[in-house]
Each structure stands twice: as structure tokens, then as C-alpha cells.
Structure 1
Amino acid sequence: MTNVLAPLAARYASWLALPADQTNDVETDPSLVRAMPVILQIERDLPARTALLEAAATAALAVCLDPRAEPEGEWHALVTAWIAGHIRKVSRRARGAHWQAAQQFPGVTVTVADASARALVPGLVTETPREIGRLQISGSDLPQDDPGPAPPGVPVLWLNPTVPLTAGKAAAQVGHASMLLAALLDEPDLKSWSTTGYQSAVRTPTREQWNTLHPGPDPAGAWQDRQVVAVRDAGFTEIAPGTVTVLAQWRA
């Protein structure tokens, strides 16, 4: 297995240390911006919020670690070009025929319980297919639910308990988290995770739990001591630049 996410590991500590006002200092030329579309299936009969976020987190990672993203694969150039820059994701909602249409584009669909998400191969935003570009970004919020404790032996993606996020924004953030976690894992752990289909649990901790897990000024120490990696948002939508939105915790 080739970990195409390895470049993220090299950038992680320096990114987390940046001043907040520099976290969105990325390529602004619209013709060069790349993003991964994450399509959330939201029918009239709404899916459970937590299950949908778990499906999105797995789908985003599965695209990156799919055999087609390997050096000889058909997705490799697109995936690596995206990872080399800012790992931007755009969540969109779809139902009915629009959801079925999204299945025709290269990507991976994951279903958790009653919820499905499809992550598409990333590409230039200016080249987003019309069928995907017409899907709405707004209106993707869902009621909070209570999924209970995370199952043992599954990585946990902890949502910041002090920062409200729409389901669409949270889906992008947990997708970032699963990718960063995979980037930092060694080969045996990554292979072990692959046997579960990259399953993860999304949960919201108490403020006390969040503060205990948070890397603070020592991201390397947090990874070594408690195997936690943080997602720090660039602040393009919904929240302030530099906000830590998710803490991903590896649990063997």
C-alpha cells in the first residue's frame, strides 16, 4: 500500500503552528483551486447526522487510499495534485435522481446505517461537472443525535464542543481528520485500519475531554503521547480562521 497522504504528515506540525490569520494564506487564483466534492445523500426522510458524518469521513479517505490513487492508477495525478496544495472539500447535498447522477462520477460511496456519502475524485473547481455544480451547498444541516459511546478499537473523530457546525461543514472537517490521521499512521496500523474499510466514529466530547486531548502548542507530543491529530480550519466558511474543529484519535 502506497500512502499518497504522506506529504500531509510533513506539513502538519508547521500548519498547526501558523498564526490564525495565516491559515487561509493559500492559492487564490480561481483557475488553480482544487477541491474534493463530498456528496451527502439527504432525502426527505433524513439520515442520522452522526452516521452521515462517519460515512463522509470514510469516503474521503477511501478515495485517497483507493488502488486507483496508487502511482500507476487512473486517479493518481488528480489526487496527488490536490494533496500537494490545500486539502479543500466542498460538501453538497443530493437526493433522488440527483444522488443517482452523482454515482456516475469517479469516487467512492460509503453507507453507515441509514446514511450515505460519496466522495468524488478531487479536481479543479472551475472544471466541476455541471451535474455536481448544480447541487446545493447550503441547507445541509441535520438534527443533533445521540449515537452513544464509540465502539472499542475504532478511531474517534472528536468534534469541537464549542463550535457549532452545519452537517455539510462538519462532513468536510471529519474528512480532513480521517486523512490527517492516515497520513501519520505507520504502515502496519494503516493496513489494520484498511481491513475495517477505514471505519471511524464521530463523537462530541465534553469540554474537559476536548481540553485534555487538544495538542496545544505541542502537536508532535500529542501524537506520540496520545495519538491525537488536530484539524485546523482555514476559515473560508462558517468559522474563524485557525479554529480547531476536529481532533482525530487513533485507537488500536
Structure 2
Amino acid sequence: MSSPESGIVDELSTGEEGFRIRHAELALGYGGAGDPDDPDQVQAMQMVLHLPKADPPARSALLAAAAASAVALCLDERVGPDGPWAQRYLAWKHSRIRKVARRARGAQWLAANEVDGVTVEIDGAQARAFVPSAVGEVDPRIKKLQIGGTDLQHDDPGPADPNLPVLWVSSALGMTLGKSAAQVGHASMLLAAALRPEDAYRWSRREFHCAVREADPAQWQALSDRVRAGGAVAVRDAGFTEIAPGSLTVIAVPPEAW
């Protein structure tokens, strides 16, 4: 896996110039600004997971949809220069990266889709990432949605599509569905930023679809070795909720063909 370089981005065609610019911004990384004194001004990306009461989706598919929606928003043309979402996106990106995962069903889900954001569906599971904002300015249709609560059983979806990235979640941490959704959202962003622009663009043509799988301790060790060798990227959590600061939560592995 190669890091973006100026010589590589020139391989993109003129029609993909806007994507190149957005990818370059994502590749710059995150943070740099501390938290504001007013907690209501802390920046966060809200995410909503569609959890219908009848026939809920598989956990792995829902997490994959959450991951795809997060990176899709970060590379959406509307966050680009002069785009209508650019100012809000950059304010969040230049702060400490936070995501808040909520759940919705029925009319709540329909209302959530009226708020600025990007929805992705994978294997019947749907998730929506919203344009970031200060936590005190979250749209009421989103703010009222529950953060904790309903979880989903862990599933075993079998081998992943070899042409898609795989986001491996550490099974040892026992993260909730909401926490896992935020973490795979971080992982998809980190992976896209680390990819060559033409590979990230190829991924975008598939709506950033990916697979989410759980890694047992032995698999996790092998994946950690791959991170150290530069063949994968890992999320190191800040420890705001659920787990200890510095914990590695998700390791994202690109397809071998990339």
C-alpha cells in the first residue's frame, strides 16, 4: 500500500480533478486544534444506523455500511473547495476527530435522511453519515435519536470479497455496536487517505463498499504485524468512551490488487 504522492495524483484524469483535491485534503490528516472551552462547540460527525424492529440487518453488514458512509462523506464533492459542506467539514477535520453513532427506525430514519449527509446500503443494511457540526448545533431530527441501547448479535458472514477492503475489528475489546460503528468509520477514512488517489477513486466508484470482520487474538497479532510492515492501517482510539486510551480497535486492509 503506497502513500499519496504528488507524482501519483497526476495519473488521475482531468475529469477526476475534484476528487484528487478532496483526497489530498483527506490525506493531510486530522486534528491540530484542541477542544474549545465551550463543550457545546466540540466538533463531531453524527452517524445513524438503520435498525428496523422487524428483520434487522446483520451486524457486519451494518458496520460496513457505517464505514462506507463516513468515508463517502469525506470525499463527497460537496465538501470540496467552495462546496456547501466545506466549512463544516474542515472545522471538524481540523479538530479532534469524533463520531457519534445513533440508531433509528421507521419515521425517524426517514426524517434523518432529510438532514445533510450521505447514506450507503450494503447487503440490505443502511447507515447515514452527516455533515459534521458542533455538538450543540446538531439538527433536532438527529439529536433526539438514541445513542446507546439496541445492539446486534455478532455474525459470521464468511469470507470477504477479495476485491474489497476488509476492516478487522478486535474481538477482544467487546465494543458495542455504536462504538464499533464509529471505529470502522475512522478506519475507512484512514485507509482512503493512505491509498494512492487512483485507488481511492476506484474504491469510490463502488460507493466505498467494504467488508467488516472480527479478528481473534491470533488474527489480530498477524494483522498488527502487517500494520508495522506498512501493508495496513490501524485506528488507535483516544479513549473518550468504553475502552482505554491508545487501544487499537480496527485494522483496515486493502485488497491485494491495490
Query: Aligning the two structures, in what range does the TM-score lie when normalised by the shorter sequence?
Result: 0.7 to 0.9
Contact 1:70 1:76 in 2 (8 A): yes
Q: Report the equivalent of 1:39.
A: 48
- Deviation at residue 215 of structure 1 after TM alignment: 5.2
Match of 1:162 in 2: 172
Tell me, in whole angstroms, the C-alpha distance in 1 between the residues paired with 2:115 and 2:141: 9
Cα distance in 1 for residues equivalent to 2:150 and 2:63: 12
TM-score normalised by the chain length of structure 1? 0.87
* 1:7 match: 28
1:147 and 2:149 correspond: no
Aligned with residue 219 of structure 2, among 202, 209, 221: 209
- State TM-score, norm by structure 2: 0.85
User: What letter corresponds to residue 7 of structure 1 in structure 2?
Assistant: L
Counterpart-to-counterpart distance in 1, 2:195 and 2:239:
27
**Counterpart secondary structure, 1:91:** strand
Kindly report structure 1 stretches of 4+ aligned residues shifted beyond 4 Å: none
Letter in 2 for 1:44: K
Q: Contact between 2:85 and 2:131, CA under 8 Å: does it hold in 1?
A: yes
Secondary structure, in 3 states, of the residue corresponding to 2:252? strand
2:122·2:209 contact (CA, 8 Å) conserved in 1? no
**2:246 maps to which residue?**
242
Gaps of 5+ in 2: 1-18
Displacement of 1:90 in angstroms is 0.3
1:27 corresponding residue in structure 2 = 35
1:204 Cα deviation from its structure 2 partner: 1.1
CA contact (8 A) 2:168 2:212 kept: yes
Q: Which residue of 2 aligns with 1:59?
A: 69
DSSP 3-state at the match of 2:171? coil
| Aligned equivalents of 2:137, 2:225: Cα separation in 1 | 37
Displacement of 1:26 in angstroms is: 4.8
Distance 1:140 1:87, change over 3 A: farther
RMSD (Å) for aligned C-alpha atoms: 1.9
State the SS of the aligned residue for 1:144. coil
Q: For the residues of structure 1 that align with 2:143 and 2:72, how far apart are their CA atoms?
A: 22
Q: CA deviation at 1:93?
A: 0.5
Residues 203-234 of structure 1: per-residue CA shift (max 9 Å, x gap): 11232221112159xx6x532xx2x1110111
